[in-house]
Copies of this chain bind each other. A is one copy, B any other.
Amino acid sequence: MLTKTINTVIAGLVLLSGFAIAEDVHVNNDIIPLEISNNAVLLRERALLDDLSVDIVESLTTEVGPRRVGTEGDKRAIAWAQAKFKELGFDRVWTEEVPIEHGWIRGDANAEIVSPYPHNVVMTALGYSVGTNGDLVGELADFPTLEDLEAVPEGDSLKGKIAYVSYSMADYVPQPGEPRMAGYGKGTQARSRGHVVAAKRGADAVIIRSVGTDSNRYAHTGSGYGYEDGVRKIPAAAISPPDAILIQNMMKRGEPVVLKMNMTSKITGPVRGANVIGEITGRSGSDDYLVLGAHLDSWDEGTGAIDDGAGIGSMMAAAAMIGQMEQRPNRSIRVLLFAAEEIGLVGVRAYYEEHKDELDNHILGAEVDGGGGRAHTLISGVGETSLPIVREMHKLVAPLGIEWSDANDATGASDMSVLGRAGMPALNFMQNSNDYFMYHHTPNDTFDKIIPEDMRLITAAYATVFYVAAEMEIDFRK
């Protein structure tokens, strides 16, 4: 109610001031009608003053916390999401079950260097790793990158050893043309395949330096989901950056570094997750809808505030604010909270299988899964004919300091890119992800890392452009 009152007050001020807001930002009203662009600006300004997105993250991280798929936390998260959608006035709310082949128990992960100098090491199991079955002791065989490990011929030359991929995302300098965080992709290679590559060379386990940009004494977990048939299942773990630096300094002294590790992690039988969907139902009665995505699951060490509470908060809030306007938007807007993103986009793949016949009804999609950092660039992935309209939509967010990218190759990001690559048009705000790669997948991913002004900005940006897309009869298809 309050929000409607505020809208009315601002609209009144606009009328009194005697000029159309949209002119002020130079929107071409032959392309976006004046009433729609005016409403979009009012919505944007209101969103910039509203902490709804932050409050949603606070609620999720406080009342639910960690929510790895299949855990009790995930079940609480599914119930929380449904209740939150209803509380926020979504018209339809439902879940779609996602079967997962295996569950996983993290257990404990302890490690210490036993030689040349005794030290505790902060280590965490990579997702879906097997345990060590008691103490596992081995000399570290250091490989600067996964490629260096792959260069070792298959066989048993690493027998009795622990393969160690010491690649540092923090130290990676992007090549010309590479995105700023290109080092992440390189790091995830060892994280997702190191256990298979190392096992084929006889290693007893694989350890990686955490894939992150920070220098905090946390290990970043992540998915090593999936052993290869016929290849020995060896434990996979990550160690913290300071411990990686310590080991590097030890190795400089020329003596073998011997690690003892003990992990009680365990793969279990099947579990179930669920995609949770909330809809603001459009007034046109059309079967088409816009989709805003985030993932509901998180890793299990922090409370999943930036990964992906920030996405849930901003997308739920953006749609809710559109829903709180004087009338329902023309087209429906669905918020898709996907299950099991962290173990390999499992929830969205189930969604795709279920909904591929209606892919054409997905008019436009986006996902936030890079934290709540400042939005800096709008990038589209739409048909040529709708580009002039998207350029006008950009003018509505340009006052937020958001640039425009001509690349037109957006796919929706993270989960949503599965749909984007299958043909769904997409619109994404690129964000500053510096903080994200310091905290994500660690115990340090907690609510205090959320920066409210950045969350308000990303929420305002998505609310603005998706409101316009929902109001107008635009075909974004390629």
- A interface residues with partner B (beta carbon < 8 Å): 58, 61-66, 72, 117-120, 122, 215-218, 241-242, 245-246, 249-250, 253, 302-303, 442-444, 446-449
**A215 and B65 contacting across the interface, CB-CB below 8 Å:** no
Q: Is the CB of B63 within 8 A of A117?
A: yes
Identify A217's interface contact among B72, B250, B444, CB under 8 A: B444
Please indicate the chain B residues that have their CB under 8 angstroms from the CB of A444 in the complex: 216-217, 242
List 23 A-B pairs, Cβ < 8 Å: A58-B249, A62-B246, A62-B249, A62-B250, A62-B253, A63-B117, A65-B117, A65-B118, A119-B303, A215-B449, A216-B216, A217-B302, A217-B442, A217-B443, A217-B446, A242-B444, A242-B448, A245-B446, A245-B447, A245-B448, A246-B446, A246-B447, A249-B447
Q: Smallest distance from the beta carbon of A141 to chain B beta carbons, Å?
A: 20
Cross-chain contact of A122 among B63, B245, B443 (Cβ < 8 A): B443
Residue of B nearest to A247 (CB): B62
Q: Which of B119, B218, B302 is A65 in contact with, Cβ under 8 Å?
A: B119
Question: 9 smallest A-B Cβ distances: which pairs?
Answer: A242-B446, A217-B444, A217-B443, A62-B249, A215-B448, A245-B448, A65-B119, A242-B448, A63-B117
A147→B312 CA distance, assembly (Å): 41
CA distance A363 to B242 in the complex (A): 40
Given A63-B117, A216-B216, 9 other A-B contacts at CB below 8 A?
Answer: A61-B246, A62-B249, A65-B118, A119-B303, A215-B449, A217-B442, A217-B444, A242-B448, A246-B303
Q: How far is the CB of A443 from chain B (nearest CB, A)?
A: 5
A448→B448 CA distance, assembly (Å): 24
Nearest CB in chain B: distance from A213 CB, A: 13
Which residues on B sit within 8 Å (CB–CB) of A117? 62-65
Chain B neighbourhood of A119, CB < 8 A: 65, 303
In the complex, the chain B residue whose C-beta lies closest to that of A305 is B242
Q: Which residues of B contact A218 (CB under 8 A)?
A: 217
Contacts of A64 in B (CB 8 A): 117
Q: How far is the CA of A241 from the CA of B448 in the complex (A)?
A: 9
**Residues of B contacting A120 in the complex (Cβ-Cβ under 8 angstroms):** 66
Chain B hits for A242, CB < 8 A: 444, 446-448
